[in-house]
A and B are shown apart, each in its own frame.
Chain A
Amino acid sequence: NAGVTQTPKFRVLKTGQSMTLLCAQDMNHEYMYWYRQDPGMGLRLIHYSVGEGTTAKGEVPDGYNVSRLKKQNFLLGLESAAPSQTSVYFCASSYYTGTSSVDEQFFGPGTRLTVL
């Protein structure tokens, strides 16, 4: 099993450009998440999904959109990139536990995004 994979690994954008980050998991997990990690700060939740076709906002959703058209994929979009979105982005997934995501999260390797 590949686990959680992310595409691309690195990307440089100019302010105002758009892009989509792709996350894929082959563990048949119901829950998927997008985080950003900045120096000196913990992982911050951007958006999450509890199943195919459903998404919800996390702690820092502004400037991002997501879609979960297929259970195994979770896409993160930046419509108009800003320098403040320079960060490392991690996707994660976890099992369905009935009421909450208390089980461990499986993380992808991350995407390092720089916005100039």
Chain B
Amino acid sequence: SQKIEQNSEALNIQEGKTATLTCNYTNYSPAYLQWYRQDPGRGPVFLLLIRENEKEKRKERLKVTFDTTLKQSLFHITASQPADSATYLCALVTGGFKTIFGAGTRLFVKA
């Protein structure tokens, strides 16, 4: 069956460190992969998009990698800050109009 997996356990890191979140998928051939941030009680907010022919994408302190052989995307936040604490969702766009979302990983950055 088709599956997207993100670490269900929360990730706790110290301020200033790099946070790395993982998104694994099976039985998909996504054309694009997106990452969203969701704060408690709010809707998701788009962060980055990476295409299947791109290995890496950066935006300020954020970096996303996409390995279609491993079927995995890694999301990095460098020099993390307490304000980065949130739930991060990965989403696969396989074509058409349907986006498949993972359940998300909660990140806590301690000051």
Contact = CB atoms under 8 A, between A and B. Distances in A.
Interface of A: 4, 31, 35, 40-45, 48, 50, 56, 58-59, 90, 92, 100-110
Contacts of A58: 98
Interface of B: 4, 8, 31-32, 34, 41-46, 49, 89, 91, 93, 95-104
Contacts of B102: 42
**Interface majority SS (helix, strand, loop, mixed), chain A:** loop
A104 to B, nearest CB: 4
B46 A101 contact: no
A50 B96 CA distance: 10
Nearest to A108: B43
Contacts of B97: 31, 48, 50, 56, 100-101
A45 B99 CA distance: 8
A106 B8 CA distance: 24
B89 A43 contact: yes
Contact of B8 (A31, A40, A43, A109): A40
Contact of B93 (A41, A42, A101): A101
16 contacts: A40-B8, A40-B103, A42-B100, A43-B44, A43-B101, A44-B101, A48-B97, A48-B98, A90-B44, A102-B49, A105-B99, A107-B43, A107-B44, A107-B45, A108-B43, A109-B41
